[in-house]
Amino acid sequence: MKRTRIIIAVGVLSFLVGALVSPMLGWRGPERLEAESEAAIDLPAAVAQVWFPSIDEYDNGGEVLDDEQFKQLMAALDAAMSAEETVADFAGEASFHLANFARRLVVPRITEPQQEVIADFLAALGEQHPDHLQLTQRQGTLLTSLYPPKPTDDIPVFSRSVDLLLSNAEFYADGGDFEDGQVDRILATLRAILNAPEVSDRFEEEAATHLRHAGLLLQFGRLSPEQLARVLAYMDEVAAAHPETDVIADTRYIIENLTPGRVAPNITGKDTDGVEFSLEDYRGKVVALVFSGHWCGPCRVEYPFQRAMVSLYEDTNEDAVLLSVNSDPVLETIRAVKVRESLAYRTWWDGHEELSVEGPIATEWRVGGWPTIYILDEKGVIRYVDRRGADMIAAVDELLKEKRWAALEASMLGTVEDPEGDGK
């Protein structure tokens, strides 16, 4: 029997050695060429080039738009919409051009004759591109909302119209390891976007959205130490080029502290009963950490899966636990919800009456979307981000299986070291 155990243990050791050596066989050392500069980046021409007069020329304090300036703007729009690139890819280019045109009309007052010129242009555009009539009509509705009386005098950021990172399926690691080529292209795309005219001209206002998208994207996989170093080096490069703003701070924090492979920041606060507790209290258990609020529709969709997880692992006595950080502005709201919805898990209340989503815990964890879900292993290391619904339970179950295998392997290794079992 002892001999059998030794054979099994040696087999396990062989498996472990193979698992460690295999990545090394595919390792590429310092001779690896820097590929970021060679990564193919296809920014839309509407983003990569200058098409319109500077937006600052149209920030006139709410005065009537000068006719000459209006003519220049319309001529620029006509040139942009009739450009070869736009005609070839109307769906991909036109929305950017129209958004940039509209941004220049947010502050100045637009006269009725000017409004008629815009309406006629959009109508003609719809006739030229009947397959995209909805796009031009939607833009017409947006422009109409900018006419007097003005709802706002804040120029909207162009970056809200440009999502070239999160929308690219090729950039996702889906919970696995990022490939070098993916990191190369993510950095190259981010560099190209931040250097685009409409972004670089108003960097502090525009860059935060794209940097945040990059941080979110990098939460969907694991960066190697070398990849992490390259990403952080680029963050430093951006910071050095723009010392007047600390726009990279949140993104850098996310990458360094809230991506898979990083030990999760500790949380200490009071639960809904007023009792203080910490995330580190649950080391040794697999933890699903949910940032939620009853005010949030998608958060409420998660309730059945949360009940299922609590019931499943309570019944099997597994080392898994669900914890949540709640952002409802009134404490009594979540207290009542937990009873009514049978949400039998411990919750930090992080809300307050004003800006309840910006409580100290959510702020430290840079939560920008609700719900946000982190799955931590028994060592407190983040393994998955935003696994929702049944995927959350599957991720927890996967880490539990991994933990059981690790315990079995440790037991077998102990048998090899002391085959007689007498401690000698």
Claim to verify: residue 399 and residue 277 sit in the same structural domain: yes
Residue 60 lies in a domain: yes
Claim to verify: residue 179 and residue 292 sit in the same structural domain: no
pLDDT of residue 6: 30
Claim to verify: residue 275 and residue 346 sit in the same structural domain: yes
**b/e for 383-422, b at 16 or more Cβ within 10 A?**
bbbbbeeeebbebbbbbbeebeeeeeeeebeebeeeeeee
Answer yes or no: pTM beyond 0.95.
no
Claim to verify: residue 98 and residue 180 sit in the same structural domain: no
Residue 34 lies in a domain: no
Tell me the torsion sign for CA atoms 155, 252, 265, 304: positive
Structural element, H or E, at residue 375: strand 372-376
In sequence order, which residues have a C-beta less than 8 Å from that of residue 333 and are 6 or more positions away? 294
CB count, 10 Å around CB of 59? 14
Number of H helices, E strands in the chain: 17, 7
In sequence order, which residues have a C-beta less than 8 Å from that of residue 318 and are 6 or more positions away? 286, 312, 400
Claim to verify: residue 147 and residue 101 sit in the same structural domain: yes
What single letter denotes the amino acid at residue 321?
A: V
Residue 20 lies in a domain: no
Residue 166 lies in a domain: no
Claim to verify: residue 277 and residue 398 sit in the same structural domain: yes
Q: How far apart are CA 163 and CA 169, in angstroms?
A: 12
Backbone phi and psi for residue 5, each to the nearest 5 degrees, phi listed first: -60, -40
**For residue 293, with 0-12 CB atoms within 10 Å meaning exposed, 13-18 middle and 19 or more buried, which class applies?**
buried
Closest CA to 289 of 377, 157, 191, 185: 377
Residue 25 lies in a domain: no
Claim to verify: residue 318 and residue 367 sit in the same structural domain: yes
Claim to verify: residue 239 and residue 179 sit in the same structural domain: yes
Claim to verify: residue 244 and residue 311 sit in the same structural domain: no
pLDDT of residue 35: 54
Q: What share of the chain is helix, strand, coil (3-state, %, to 5)?
A: 55, 10, 35
Structural element, H or E, at residue 323: strand 320-326
Claim to verify: residue 333 and residue 298 sit in the same structural domain: yes
Claim to verify: residue 122 and residue 94 sit in the same structural domain: yes
What does the DSSP assignment read for 164-213? SSTT-GGG--TTSBPPHHHHHHHHHHHHHHHHSHHHHTTHHHHHHHHHHH
pLDDT of residue 3: 31
pLDDT of residue 149: 67
Backbone phi and psi for residue 347, each to the nearest 5 degrees, phi listed first: -135, 130
Helices 67-81 and 112-128: angle between axes, nearest 10 degrees: 10
Residue that is last in its domain, among 161, 196, 220? 161
Number of domains observed in the structure of the chain? 3
Residue 167 lies in a domain: no
Claim to verify: residue 330 and residue 381 sit in the same structural domain: yes
Residue that is last in its domain, among 215, 235, 257? 257
pLDDT of residue 334: 96
Q: Answer yes or no: are the C-beta atoms of 382 and 258 closer than 8 Å.
A: yes
Per-residue pLDDT of the chain (424 residues; tens, 9 = 90+): 333 333 233 333 333 333 333 333 333 334 344 554 555 577 899 999 999 999 999 999 889 999 999 999 999 999 999 999 999 999 999 999 999 999 999 999 999 999 999 999 999 999 999 999 888 888 888 787 777 666 566 788 888 788 889 989 999 998 899 999 999 999 999 999 999 999 999 999 899 999 999 999 999 999 999 999 999 999 999 999 999 999 999 999 999 999 999 999 999 999 999 999 999 999 999 999 999 999 999 999 999 999 999 999 987 777 999 999 999 999 999 999 999 999 999 999 998 777 789 999 999 999 999 999 999 999 999 999 999 999 999 999 999 999 999 888 888 877 555 555 554 4
Structural element, H or E, at residue 240: helix 225-241
The residue range of the domain holding 142 is: 45-161
Residue 412 lies in a domain: no
In sequence order, which residues have a C-beta less than 8 Å from that of residue 245 and are 6 or more positions away? 203, 204, 207
Residue that is last in its domain, among 257, 289, 321? 257
Residue 62 lies in a domain: yes
